[in-house]
Amino acid sequence: METPRTQPLVEALKRLSPVPVHAIANDPAHASDVWMQDTAEFAVRDGKPVALLGLRGKHDMGLTCGPLDQLVETYLAEKLPSIERLKVGEPKAGRRWIDWYGNLEVSPPVPGFPEGRILTGKQRELSFHPEALAFLERQKAQCPPVFIDVSWLTIGHVDEVISFIPAPEKDRKGWRALLPCPDTALLALANLADDQPAFVGKRGETTVGKLKALAQNAEQKKIRGALKATREQLKAELGIEQEDIVPVPALFENGLAVIPNPVNSLVVGKTVFVPDPCFTPLRRALASPLSSLGLTVHFVDIWEPYHTAAGELHCGTNALRSKPPRR
């Protein structure tokens, strides 16, 4: 999504991405809607690319979403006509953010699901759009979905809780799962002085001592319990073991990320674009496990306008991927 405020991200991706980057310019009147991930979900059906579209139109939380959704649909029709455009459900009111496509992801191949398995977040009484889920069920490929508890998050998208990165083919499954982890954040901060400043020059600048206190408060305790339950669920439903998980430093306050959430990264082949935590000790804690898997890591500063608006790098991008050949 290209607006004056997102221009630094667009330029960074164009400069660093190993594949072409398409930038869609939004109308200035709706420039606050920068959530490209949520406008569409790309997939493959009968060997051909398709785009699932149009579930945000009745969003009632203060953002006008219809114009960007229409802009994306028009762009695909004009610039990428080989992609079939599908509307898989009518937008519904009172759904908060639950039907946005950041809440619809898929795992790599797992036992019993050679095409991967659909993942989506469930936030108390809310779960992903029933018509869209019914459409996916009819494909008989990646369902039933795994419903992950996101009730501890304000937005409540599954791409805040889990994402996947490649690993060497002979190293376990050939991929790893990223999950947020307050303990990893606390470990990265442990040997730093409490008065050391963090996020210098950013909205939300703070100190290490305050971050340490946050990492041990009641909300993080609740989050640890929720994430423990999620790990057990992933083990049971996807066969993901602890060794398949890379815990990444994350802290939350009122259900929103304090550290730019590294789970919400963009993977392009063996290149990973990670939201820059804008604090060297946290960069080191992230770069080490990713680089050890042979990945190229680029930290991209998305503090404005994404992180401060309750989203991260993945939320502001979308990727059209080719289906890998079966082994």
Q: What is the pLDDT of residues 287-306, one digit of tens each?
A: 999 999 999 999 999 999 99
Q: Is 275 helix (H, G, I), strand (E, B) or coil?
A: strand
* Res. 326 pLDDT band, cuts 50 70 90: low
- Please state, in angstroms and rounded to a whole number, the distance separating the CA atoms of residues 40 and 102: 9
Q: What is the mean pLDDT of residues 185-196?
A: 98
Please give the DSSP secondary-structure letter assigned to residue 242.
Answer: G
Instruction: Give the class (CATH, top level) of 90-316.
Output: alpha beta
What are 217's two structure tokens? Answer: 């408060």
Q: What is the mean pLDDT of residues 78-89?
A: 95
Residue of 65, 181, 278, 315 marked active site: 315
Q: Please name which of 110, 121, 128 lies closest in space to residue 160, comparing C-alpha atoms.
A: 121
Contact call for residues 321 and 298 (beta carbons, < 8 A): no
What are 145's two structure tokens? Answer: 């979905």
pTM metric for this prediction:
0.95
Task: Domain ranges for the chain, please list them.
Answer: 90-316
Q: What is the mean pLDDT of residues 158-183?
A: 94
124 CB neighbour count, 10 Å cutoff: 10
Q: What is the mean pLDDT of residues 196-220?
A: 97
pLDDT at 180 exceeding the cut of 70: yes
Q: What is the mean pLDDT of residues 255-260?
A: 98
What does the pLDDT read at residue 181? 98
- From the CA atom positions of the chain, what is the Rg in Å? 19
Q: Is 240 helix (H, G, I), strand (E, B) or coil?
A: coil
What phi and psi values does residue 245 have, to the nearest 5 degrees?
Answer: -105, 135
Q: What is the mean pLDDT of residues 181-185?
A: 98
pLDDT at 324 exceeding the cut of 80: no
Q: Is 65 annotated as catalytic?
A: no
pLDDT at 327 exceeding the cut of 70: no
* Res. 325 pLDDT band, cuts 50 70 90: low
Angle ∠(317,36,21) on CA atoms, nearest 5: 40
Please, which residues have CB within 8 angstroms of residue 228's CB and are 6 or more apart in sequence? none
pLDDT at 285 exceeding the cut of 90: yes
What are 10's two structure tokens? Answer: 């667009």
